[in-house]
Amino acid sequence: MEIIINDDHQVLAKIVVDSIEAMVRQKPDSVLGVATGSTPIPIYEELTRRVEAGLDLSQIRIFGLDEYVSLDENNAQSYAYFIRQHIIEPCKINPANVRLLSGVAEDLKAEAADFEAAIKAAGGVDLQILGVGHNGHIAFNEPTSSLASRTRRVSLTEKTIEANSRFYNSVDEVPRHAISQGIGTILEARHLVMLAYGEEKGYAVKEMIEGPVSAMMPASALQLHPHVSVLIDEGAAKTLQKADFYKFEWSSKETQTLD
Q: Which residues are catalytic?
A: 66, 135, 137, 142
Sort strands 177-180 and 152-155 into parallel, antiparallel or unpaired. Answer: antiparallel
66 DSSP β-pair partners: 180
Q: How far apart are CA 89 and CA 91, in angstroms?
A: 6
* Residue in the shown chain whose Cβ atom is closest to ligand F6R: 131
Q: Is 137 in the site for ligand F6R (CB under 6 A)?
A: yes
Q: Please give the DSSP secondary-structure letter assigned to residue 167.
A: G
26: CB partners within 8 A, 6+ apart:
none
155: CB partners within 8 A, 6+ apart:
142, 176, 177
In the complex with ligand F6R, the residue whose CB is nearer, 133 or 202, is: 133
Task: Map residues 23-62 to x or -, x wherever contact with ligand F6R holds by CB under 6 A.
Answer: ------------xxxxx-----------------------
In the complex with ligand F6R, the residue whose CB is nearer, 44 or 246, is: 44
Task: Map residues 86-125 to x or -, x wherever contact with ligand F6R holds by CB under 6 A.
Answer: ----------------------------------------
Piece of 20-28, 50-58, 120-128, 135-143 that binds ligand F6R (CB under 6 A): 135-143
In the complex with ligand F6R, the residue whose CB is nearer, 36 or 151, is: 36
**57 φ/ψ angles, rounded to the nearest 5 degrees:** -110, 15
257: CB partners within 8 A, 6+ apart:
15, 18, 19, 22
Q: Is 65 in the site for ligand F6R (CB under 6 A)?
A: yes
> What 3-state class would DSSP assign to 98?
strand
CB of 148 to ligand F6R, least distance (A): 18
Closest CA to 185 of 103, 101, 104: 101
Closest CA to 151 of 63, 61, 62, 39: 63
> What 3-state class would DSSP assign to 228?
strand
Q: Which of 43, 93, 125, 139 binds ligand F6R (CB under 6 A)?
A: 139
Q: Which of 47, 138, 179, 209 binds ligand F6R (CB under 6 A)?
A: 138
Binding site for ligand F6R (CB under 6 A): 35-39, 65-66, 79, 131-133, 137-139
